[in-house]
Structure 1
């Protein structure tokens, strides 16, 4: 049996203004994915007793938590609609009512009912002007809620913002207060970015972009390659490598860099190998959570950073250790220059394209989905070549045919404990199946070889 509990909320304010830069970035990603934009929806299930959060939880605890987080974080009561000129704007509601979907179950069926409810809350695309961007549900056994289920529209948060939201939800489910005030709301972020200080920040970032865009090669892939017969428009291939995870840990510890930089370096070298380039030009997804007022903000703050990695001539492509340091330095510059006005970047790209006689290809993207990916690693001393070699047979590769995707090359690092888990979305006109497999396995080979060399050198 399913019922709906109505939760009335009343926030401190409402209002309409333009989108923040982070909201614009996600709005554009959504538009590239239409009609498959529901794939960007996010959700999670909290097993209240199994995860040690609370016991004997009444439904009132769930509805109170929903009310608290919606009133605290304006992003959760923000809808996006078109202004009179067609420009998207954010509309923050001061008050309203959200439904909590309640499913009754038995002790034996509760977990399965929670998974089914998660699917129902996640699968439907959001009606951005009319739907609340936050969906909530609960699975109840008798009078006790065993599982809380939440879905959220990507337009109003990102991975870093989701971390802050989950933290506040867990505190609410425990019945604990949220003492400190919330970090900057998207409404305030948008107003700041339109100020003189915000414009200066954008201009500084775009000067960095301009220096690179004016000099890097225009193309990332050879032109005029026909899509092989029988290939789908896109492949999504996922490599799972426990051995690669140990190798990354060893290399990050030895080089005193982030594990993200190690993985990106290997991807850059392998891409250069397969395209004949001397450098890899990639857009990296930057959380921007290191900036003041954004660490605990739920609203989206991520934007693309431009990362240009000098790999060198083909004869140098086996020297991953040399490229790792370059990648870390290039990544830091990308992180520092990843807050800017997207419309101003559009203008810059148009200007550079006109001056150079062709569009600069920015179709290569890298996204580390692990929340701790930017943390420098000082581990790895206990990893041995023998331990890495023993895990080689555990590597897996799985495939999914994709009809539509918003980039020609997009490498995601997934949060899978104990494994280097990489998903590559690739346009088969530039990377057919054989090249996709070679790319992912080539990354693994580079990492394992470099780890073995580093261990011997140590």
Structure 2
């Protein structure tokens, strides 16, 4: 049996303004994927008893938690609509009501019921102007809630802010809601970013982009062979994980920089260029007030890495320096950047790199345990899996996935310009570069 429970909430304020820069970035990503924008929705199931959070949990604990997080985080009670000029604006409601979907189940079927509820809440795209960007549900066995289910629109937050939101949800579910002040709300960020100070910040960032864009060619891959056709491939390499850890320790850089360097070398070689130009996804969480902010803050940074005829090692240091500059200049008004790109003429910004790992600045495995024998023994365990994609917003987009003990890379590509043969060559080439460099380092050390 399914029941809908009305949950009221009240926050500190309401208001209307333009989107923050991070919200604009997410809004554009959503629009590029319509009608497949539901693919950006995020969700999770909390098994209260199995995860040791709570036993004999009453429904009121769940509704209190929902009311608490809705009141605490303005992004959860924000809707987005277009104004008369076609520009997206956000409206923060001070108070309102959200529905919780309650499912009754037998004890043995509670977990399956929660997973079904999760799919039901996650799969439809959100109605951005008319629906709260949060969907909630619960599974009840008798008088006790066993599972809480949450589905959120990407406009609520990004990967960096999701941790803060989940922490607040958990604090409510265990009956001890966090009372500490929140970090910056998206509404605050939007007001600041549309001020004179925000315009100065944009000016600084765009001066960097102007310098770097001079290195960006008009076309990276040549003319497309027909309409865009998308595919994704995922390489999972235990040997690559070991190699990355060893090289990051040797070069005293992040593992993210090592992977970025290998991707840059392979991309430059396959496109006949002497540099790799990649947009990197920057969380911006290192900036004051954003570490625990529940709102989208990520933006693209521009990373130009000189490759030339060099092998991997010298490129690693360049990738680290280039990525740091990209991070420092990745907070700006996207509309102003559009105007700059249009002013400069055609440039190819179709390649992107995104490290999805939360621990991207630290080795994935212990570098001290890596040996030539362990690397060679791990190589046969590399796998490559393919999946067709209906629609994607980039010609080349390399994601580093959070898989412990494995270098897990997913490449989305437009096969009209970068076909499946080149995709496989690219992913396996990254692994080969990393493993060869690591084996060379171990030989020198011996």
Q: Counterparts of 2:166 and 2:270 in 1: how far apart (Å)?
A: 40
Is 1:295 matched with 2:276?
no
State how 1:134-149 maps to structure 2 within 5 Å.
134-149=134-149
Structure 2 match to 1:305: 301
- Uncovered stretches (5+) of structure 2, i.e. residues with no partner: none
Is 1:325 matched with 2:317?
yes
1:79-135 C-alpha deviation (Å, 9 max, x unpaired): 000112221100101111111111122222122111111111110001110011011
Is 1:339 matched with 2:331?
yes
State how 1:116-195 maps to structure 2 within 5 Å.
116-195=116-195
In the TM superposition, residue 372 of structure 1 has moved relative to its aligned partner by: 2.1
Q: Counterparts of 1:381 and 1:67 in 2: how far apart (Å)?
A: 48
Structure 1 match to 2:280: 284
Structure 1 match to 2:409: 422
* Alignment CA distance shift 1:328-1:378 (3 Å): farther
Contact 1:210–1:348, Cα closer than 8 Å, also in 2 = yes
Give the secondary-structure state (helix, strand or coil) at the position aligned to 2:55.
coil
Task: Tell me which of 441, 446, 452 is aligned to 2:428.
Answer: 441
Q: Counterparts of 2:275 and 2:265 in 1: how far apart (Å)?
A: 8
Q: Counterparts of 1:142 and 1:447 in 2: how far apart (Å)?
A: 55
Is 1:226 matched with 2:218?
no
Give the secondary-structure state (helix, strand or coil) at the position aligned to 1:155.
coil
Structure 1 match to 2:378: 391
* Alignment CA distance shift 1:388-1:103 (3 Å): farther
TM-score, normalising length: structure 1: 0.94
* Alignment CA distance shift 1:389-1:106 (3 Å): farther
State how 1:19-418 maps to structure 2 within 5 Å.
19-221=19-221, 223-227=222-226, 233-313=229-309, 316=310, 319-353=311-345, 359-375=346-362, 379-418=366-405
CA RMSD of aligned residues (A): 1.6
Contact 2:223–2:417, Cα closer than 8 Å, also in 1 = no
Q: Counterparts of 1:169 and 1:365 in 2: how far apart (Å)?
A: 32
In the TM superposition, residue 381 of structure 1 has moved relative to its aligned partner by: 2.0
Contact 1:258–1:375, Cα closer than 8 Å, also in 2 = yes
Give the secondary-structure state (helix, strand or coil) at the position aligned to 2:107.
coil
In the TM superposition, residue 347 of structure 1 has moved relative to its aligned partner by: 0.8
Q: Which moved more, 1:252-261 or 1:360-369?
A: 252-261
Contact 2:76–2:134, Cα closer than 8 Å, also in 1 = yes
Give the secondary-structure state (helix, strand or coil) at the position aligned to 1:449.
helix
Contact 1:252–1:378, Cα closer than 8 Å, also in 2 = no
Give the secondary-structure state (helix, strand or coil) at the position aligned to 1:391.
helix
1:319-356 C-alpha deviation (Å, 9 max, x unpaired): 21211111011000000000001111011001111xxx
Contact 1:232–1:401, Cα closer than 8 Å, also in 2 = no
Contact 1:250–1:451, Cα closer than 8 Å, also in 2 = yes
In the TM superposition, residue 17 of structure 1 has moved relative to its aligned partner by: 0.2
TM-score, normalising length: structure 2: 0.97
Q: Counterparts of 1:456 and 1:19 in 2: how far apart (Å)?
A: 54
Q: Counterparts of 2:372 and 2:246 in 1: how far apart (Å)?
A: 9
Q: Which moved more, 1:5-14 or 1:333-342?
A: 5-14
In the TM superposition, residue 173 of structure 1 has moved relative to its aligned partner by: 1.1
In the TM superposition, residue 375 of structure 1 has moved relative to its aligned partner by: 4.8
1:123-156 C-alpha deviation (Å, 9 max, x unpaired): 0001110011011111122222222111000012
- Uncovered stretches (5+) of structure 1, i.e. residues with no partner: 354-358
In the TM superposition, residue 403 of structure 1 has moved relative to its aligned partner by: 2.3
In the TM superposition, residue 378 of structure 1 has moved relative to its aligned partner by: 10
Contact 1:99–1:136, Cα closer than 8 Å, also in 2 = yes
Contact 2:113–2:139, Cα closer than 8 Å, also in 1 = yes
Q: Counterparts of 1:205 and 1:391 in 2: how far apart (Å)?
A: 43
Contact 1:253–1:377, Cα closer than 8 Å, also in 2 = no
In the TM superposition, residue 365 of structure 1 has moved relative to its aligned partner by: 0.5
Structure 2 match to 1:356: none
Q: Counterparts of 2:301 and 2:113 in 1: how far apart (Å)?
A: 41
In the TM superposition, residue 170 of structure 1 has moved relative to its aligned partner by: 1.1
Give the secondary-structure state (helix, strand or coil) at the position aligned to 1:109.
helix
In the TM superposition, residue 255 of structure 1 has moved relative to its aligned partner by: 1.4
Contact 1:69–1:169, Cα closer than 8 Å, also in 2 = yes
Give the secondary-structure state (helix, strand or coil) at the position aligned to 1:399.
strand
In the TM superposition, residue 457 of structure 1 has moved relative to its aligned partner by: 2.5
In the TM superposition, residue 52 of structure 1 has moved relative to its aligned partner by: 2.1
